[in-house]
Amino acid sequence: MKITKSTFIKSIEAYDNRGLSPLSEIAFIGRSNVGKSSMINRLVMQKIARTSSTPGRTRSINIYKIDYEFKNAKRSFYISDFPGFGYSKVSKSMYRGWQEMIERYILENRNIKRLLWLFDVRRDFDALDDMLIDWLEANRLPYSFVVTKTDKVTRNELALKKTQFAEMFGKDNVFIFSAKSGYGRKELLLHIFSTVG
């Protein structure tokens, strides 16, 4: 089980501009500054995604092609990295535009096998998160919950959060990840590879 090559393909702003071969796809979604780019870089062990300390930097859907070996077979899939939501320093019209772009891309894209919802372990749930859960479940979209920045809290704090999220989403659907240390990388890659086939 290993990634053999990872490549940035393009940035797009609508599903109509996708124009890619029909490979399976994993979509990364989450709040602004949750660490999506850092996670992608750690997963592929290569800096292919731009990281920034400024929330809201990603304003389009970034597509990456991942070549990998799994169960004695060579395969490929796409990762789509979506703009973060919940960033207050953008105009309402721009935010609505992002929301419409994200929703349309996901709902019209039959190649997406699973969404990975990244969540900063230091945060608590709010109304936006509740709305996302309602939207995911109303549209019957398969998703997994990935807790990020776990190196920023104590072991006890992490254990409490993990228990809380397991009760909400199911133990097998919650993953713990640290882009800094690489903790959880193997488990998450196995989950992704098993999903895309």
- Write the pLDDT tens digit of every residue in 140-191: 999 999 999 999 999 999 999 999 999 999 999 999 999 999 999 999 999 9
Q: Per-residue pLDDT tens for 26-62? A: 999 998 889 899 999 999 999 998 765 555 555 689 9
Predicted model pTM: 0.89
β-pairing, 73-81 vs 61-70, is antiparallel
Give residues with Cβ within 8 angstroms of 176, minimum separation 6: 147, 150, 158, 162, 183, 184
Asked if 109 and 25 count as a contact pair (C-beta separation under 8 A), the reply is: yes
- Tell me the sheet residues that pair with 66: 6, 77
Residue 90 DSSP one-character state: S
